Amino acid sequence: MSVDVLALARARLGFQTLRVGQEDAVRGVVGGRDVLAVLATGTGKTAIYQLAGLALGGVTVVVSPLVALQRDQLRALRPAGVEVAELNATDHAGRRAARDLLTNDRPGFVLLSPEQLTHPDVLELLAASRPTLVAVDEAHLVSEWGEDFRPDYLRLAAAVRAMGRPPVLALTATAAPPVRKEIVHRLEMNDPAVVVGGFDRPNLNLAVFTFADDDTKNRRLLSHVRSSRGPGIVYVGTHRHAEDLAHELNTAGVAAQAYHAGLPAKQRREVQDTFLDGECRVVVATIAFGMGIDKPDIRWVSHAEAPSSVDAYYQEIGRAGRDGEPADIELFFRHADLGLNRFFASGGVTDDDLLAVATAIREHRPKDIAALVGASGLGTARVERALGRLTDARVVAVGHQFHLARGVDVDRAVAAASAVEHDRREVARSRVEMMAAYAEYGGCRREWLLSYFGERYDGPCGNCDNDLAGRTAAPPEDQPFPVGSRVVHRAFGPGLVEHYDGTTMTVLFDRVGYKELRTAFMVHNQLLQAEVAP
């Protein structure tokens, strides 16, 4: 099927140009392929599924995690002259419209949350409609490498199979290679076209301030926020810190509010609304804040502590400067703060949890997480993590019910999932160390960040603290394995060369995550070899 994507965008959506990655992703879908589109915040990911759905005709099912996001998408689609309906638990008129569209075989878009896939009647309705495309928005939520893992996303692969296996379009703003790998795995995407681009945000001024003690860091952060101009966000690590810093800022005459998952839903909505309306200049937030926030004039984003991964960091700073105007990005870094992230990275799922969940699945075949919690006797968070490992190991299937895969007993399920958990801990620890590597990096920060996400960029950018201070060194000439090439290590197995820094090189290994290696030592002892294509 051939389609003029730009002409379609102009005629139906009023676009005059397309952004990086949009046309490639749409062409992949129209050509019948699964597509994973990894494009930065503000680069028009929504337009990709809109254009692909318009080109294909038929019904496009859009899985979107937030009602607020669905409402924005509804407003964007209606001017295109296409039917669009929302299938969620609270909008009864929307549900009727969605059911009418699905049962009468008319082209259009149906938006729903992943939680709706837990209802058999919804799945049966979707299966009968035989949609031409399933678009998964915020696809990183299917991955536990993100900060906002949603276990209901685990049902998506089974739902897609029930719908007759139409092409799957997964869209996300933040997905380094480990996240991409997990998205493809959990959505059971078939040899997808992976479109990566648009990560470069040249209007963001990147800086890191390093401190030896907590008091000095906090005083500098408070002073910085007080003197900043325009609306901004401070990300902090705990609910208590959010409350305390917001109180200090208000005492200092700055209109600030705290936002975290411990607040009632009504209060969180009020904070978000006052920030969007300009009544609140500063939000002091945990990771709970940000998704679905479409405020183009955020002039700065600061982090009081380093997040647990570069993925989380880049997603959070991506909320600044979406209008294209300059925005300041500051990380207030203290190496000791990483201790808590390292502690969490070293934890995870125990074999006892895996045994309890696998046994509950074998004996009860529960229909949802709540039933699995009751049958296993574990808390919700422990059940969700164990279920993630069991599904990653492909020993538990998720459909109308959870059940062990054919030919798999409980002991085998636990052993397979335990091996997956071991590798995940290695990768999790490496991701924390990569956050430290970014903070302590002496070269061009934009070059470092873009290479982390697999996008080649040759610095200096002239818009980060290191470049502006003249600290950026020339890239090392000794690069025995090109950046972006595949290599094999004797112990760590296959991996991807990320970048070089002085005498070291960083490799992302498929099994154990990121490792910083001494380049000359690797070459001299023949510990690293170029991977031979099969």
Does the pLDDT of residue 145 top 80, yes or no?
no
Query: Are residues 105 and 222 both part of a single domain?
Result: no
User: Quick check: is 66 in a domain?
Assistant: yes
Query: Are residues 106 and 251 both part of a single domain?
Result: no
Question: What pTM value is reported for the model?
Answer: 0.77
Among candidates 416, 409, 475, 424, which has minimal Cα distance to 448? 475
The answer to whether 36 and 57 are in contact (CB under 8 A) is no
pLDDT of residue 80: 63
Query: Are residues 224 and 185 both part of a single domain?
Result: no
Query: Are residues 337 and 352 both part of a single domain?
Result: no
The answer to whether 335 and 169 are in contact (CB under 8 A) is no
Query: Are residues 138 and 276 both part of a single domain?
Result: no
- Of 130, 162, 197, which one is at a domain's C-terminal end? 197
User: Quick check: is 440 in a domain?
Assistant: no
The answer to whether 137 and 49 are in contact (CB under 8 A) is yes
Rounded distance, CA 228 to CA 225, Å? 5
* Residue 186's CATH number: 3.40.50.300
Task: Provide the domain limits for residue 182.
Answer: 5-197
User: Quick check: is 435 in a domain?
Assistant: no
Position 42 confidence tier, pLDDT thresholds 50, 70, 90: low
* Residue 485's CATH number: 2.30.30
Strands 168-172 and 133-136, by their bridges, are parallel
The phi and psi torsions of 252 (rounded to 5 degrees) equal: -85, 5
Among candidates 313, 307, 316, 314, which has minimal Cα distance to 345? 307
User: Quick check: is 51 in a domain?
Assistant: yes
The answer to whether 186 and 154 are in contact (CB under 8 A) is yes
Query: Are residues 109 and 249 both part of a single domain?
Result: no
Rounded distance, CA 315 to CA 318, Å? 5
Does the pLDDT of residue 421 top 70, yes or no?
yes
Q: What is the pLDDT of residues 476-496, one digit of tens each?
A: 667 899 888 899 998 899 988
Query: Are residues 186 and 247 both part of a single domain?
Result: no
SS3 333: strand
What's the number of domains the chain is made of?
Answer: 4
Q: Mean of the per-residue pLDDT values for the chain?
A: 85
Q: Which residues contact 283 (CB under 8 A, 6 or more apart)?
A: 233, 234, 256, 257, 258, 259, 271, 275, 289
pLDDT of residue 69: 63
Query: Are residues 364 and 489 both part of a single domain?
Result: no
Query: Are residues 335 and 363 both part of a single domain?
Result: no
93 or 263: whose pLDDT is higher? 263
* Residue 361's CATH number: 1.10.10.10
Query: How many residues would you count in the chain?
Result: 534
Which of 235-273 are b and which e, b meaning 16 or more Cβ less than 10 Å from the residue's Cβ?
Answer: bbbebebbbebbebbeeeebebbbbbeebeeeebeebbe
Query: Are residues 325 and 388 both part of a single domain?
Result: no
pLDDT of residue 95: 72
pLDDT of residue 475: 65
- Of 315, 343, 371, which one is at a domain's C-terminal end? 343
pLDDT of residue 354: 95
Q: Which residues contact 238 (CB under 8 A, 6 or more apart)?
A: 286
User: Quick check: is 302 in a domain?
Assistant: yes
Query: Are residues 27 and 167 both part of a single domain?
Result: yes
pLDDT of residue 410: 95
List the beta bridge partners of residue 515.
Answer: 507
User: Quick check: is 446 in a domain?
Assistant: no
- Alpha-carbon separation of residue 503 from 72, 506, 523 (angstroms): 48, 10, 12
Query: Are residues 420 and 499 both part of a single domain?
Result: no
- Of 362, 395, 424, which one is at a domain's C-terminal end? 424
- Strand segments, DSSP code E, in 236-333 are 256-259, 282-285, 300-303, 327-333
User: Quick check: is 463 in a domain?
Assistant: no
